[in-house]
Structure 1
């Protein structure tokens, strides 16, 4: 739903608190959430628990960080292709995805039963996923010491089904310690900058209040924009123990989707395992073509072998030929593996698309303001 610019800076006030805040245990926190734009910079609203204990703060100060990117890909292949380059540039460890074009079938991926909510350990070994649970509308996995939930609840979902899924998610997340819940909820509430609070927003607030989670969203920039319509429906919630020095922002790259990417730093990242394998790399400029040709000219596949065995033999022979014809370089460290199809022209086109999209959005905002 489109919102005029005058609504984006307006602080909403209510003579009577909403139904979810009438419980005396939650009313104070409800007021804090509604006044989130007036809180000191860096202070985040929490749902349920008024403050972070000193012990939790000390634990949080020792946490190592996980770089997270959150995005609704709108089931778009181009958006998912661009994501490959984006996570490399941002050095992301974990991607929380809604409506992916395609989910991977290896241990780096986890997907819900509908195929519309996914987790991708795009940073490799430090964020390897475990303890995966695939539900309806959400998927849960453990990344290091952080329990992560990716959610997608379609706007066409009946309210009863929405409430059931959120309750199932809350029951699973209860008493799990460090939790991160993120995704596209298609829910509106004043607490995250919407002009109105709808039934979905009230259900989400009421249910997550019992988990003592904090809302990381800041500002009132729309996370979804299609033509002249836009809204804030992509949300990020985290345990209070994870808030110390946490960072949350809307990204500044063209995504190929009608949703903005959300970038946050949070959680605890374990040390990489010593057994993680590194790929071999070569300095291409040192290629000796004659040596390469000599190494391959006598090769023949062994007879009576399957296609897979022949392919393995060829791969080994190619590696030997490369060893003899090029100098090895240090292996690519994590996040530095190149995307083979990416080049300067594509990078320039992405920047041009982002500039045009923002210019169009600014034009719509000006028209709505004049109207």
Structure 2
């Protein structure tokens, strides 16, 4: 779709309640788990909260409009959304996934494959030759993650969607790092898009949730059916909280992106930092592709400390940035993927993916850019053992 309204307009209008009884502007919270039937033969639009609630439908509708989707399902977590997609594969089918994806996703795919539910092939989908070889295996499902977590590698979504056509492979893209504000995988040919709504969409580090949306109505209905059948749909109150957070998505994420760009530039020129991974830097291997398929580089970055800089002293000296998992909140969060977000991967898999012991991932928050830069620079100075 090319005629969609702008995200800020979508979120503004979707947040206004259609309450004819009372005229409320803000949507009400509907916590009822069950709904009245007028006739036992006539199923009402809402019957049981696991299947559907007004709040969850409001959130699904907003996300679908943002992504240009036909519909989908709101789930209890981002991992639940990914798991719903795996209902489309069977024993003997092949699932293709990036070798440097989020640790929780890698763990889920690895352990399900070991149980014989499908075969999984991890590879570097940012490499054109490896991508072509992967789709030549005739996979049933391709899981794409771009930018990748945590190394910010960029996968060509349109190319992968094209390669997937010949074998009849479904493509699902994780859009958590950018949100619909900065990237729309369905517009690039992907069949499905998943989000951890916990992150940028909610934006306040106070609700866990997920969503999976599909370009075509038939697929969207299947996703909703599986979410209901497996009981992974999200609570009504969490949907209300997420939609409330989404009202400020554009304001938050553009501010965070601006600060992230400044921080990445500053760190890339610091001798105490070995490498910076941020698509907004012209030195980034995927910079040109990112600028073509994204509407901005985003506010996630990662970097490796130079030799002689103590990771422990650096982390312990930060006063503003918080050492914690998750991302996309109002506060700057940083983590060490090797021992935190990707600890569920086997060590050999982490090393093959390029995740080193000293890699630091940063989710830039809403703090003043100058204060955040000084916090990082002071911590780097404190961690410099060469002094």
TM-score after normalising by structure 1:
0.29
TM-score after normalising by structure 2:
0.28
More strand by share: 1
**Structure whose alpha-carbon radius of gyration is higher:** 1
